[in-house]
Copies of this chain bind each other. A is one copy, B any other.
Amino acid sequence: MAERVVPEPHRRRRRPTKQGVVLSEQLIVDTTLRLVGSHGAEALTVRRLGAALGADPSAIYRYFHSTDDLLLALADEFVGRAQKGWRPTGDWRADLREIGLRLHAAYQTHPQAAILAAHRTTGREHEMRAVERILGVLRGAGFPDVEAVRIYHAFVDQGLAFAALDAAALALPPAAQAADLEVWQARYGRLDASTHPNIAATAGLLAQDMRRSGYPFALELLLEAAAARLAATDGNAATGGKTGGGTERGR
């Protein structure tokens, strides 16, 4: 099998399908996102995608080597979209919070793709840009390089890890999703106080809190700890110290 997939820039013959649709990489990507958005994560199959496109399922393999390849193409968008329109404000804590929430949110828009993509290092353009910016915010805030790198690592991995976690919850079949929530309401809510006093005392709070993502609060804790560390450092070196980063500051 020579090579099934012809790279998009080299395509010349745009032959319509029986149903009159002219395929393209972009059309397939867009249709996939629409399909997943409107019919849920479980609708993402080659066969259904073919139907949604108005083409034979196998035609998709003229554009992507596999479904995983297609998934990566989708995922590549997310990091870029998360950054679109973002500008640093000069307030490092607000900036990091914004980046973290945007990144998380971008992945949540397409949970099925997010699960498979959130834990890969791409080394591609959008990712490099994000790394540069986050490091810039941290170094610009006055964190020493060693500390900036450690916090960068914790910050990014925590964001991606929660993105995958919450995406997985969203991607569950509705039945399992409901069952997961029901566990907190029904099972934990009825535990005996004599065997599980702490759960019994907080069951109501638990059931309520577990319905939301834990990420915003976890992010807040990370930022608080970072701020405390920064204050401890600056306390010795006064303010206005090293500001090696932040090249985009106030741009």
Contact = CB atoms under 8 A, between A and B. Distances in A.
A244 interface: yes
Contacts of A224: 225, 228-229
Copies of this chain in its oligomeric complex: 2
Interface stretch (A7-15, A21-29, A53-61, A148-156): A148-156
Contacts of A131: 188, 199, 206
B135 A202 contact: yes
A154 B225 contact: no
A19 B212 CA distance: 48
A51 interface: no
A245 interface: yes
Contact of A162 (B132, B161, B169): B161
Contacts of A191: 128
Nearest to A116: B168
Contact of A160 (B146, B154, B165): B165
Interface in A145-178: 145-146, 148-154, 156-158, 160-162, 164-165, 168-169, 176
Nearest to A137: B198
Given A135-B202, A145-B201, A153 B214 contact: yes
A240 interface: no
B153 A162 contact: no
| 10 smallest beta-carbon distances between A and B, as pairs | A161-B161, A123-B183, A135-B198, A119-B168, A157-B214, A221-B225, A154-B218, A161-B165, A224-B225, A225-B225
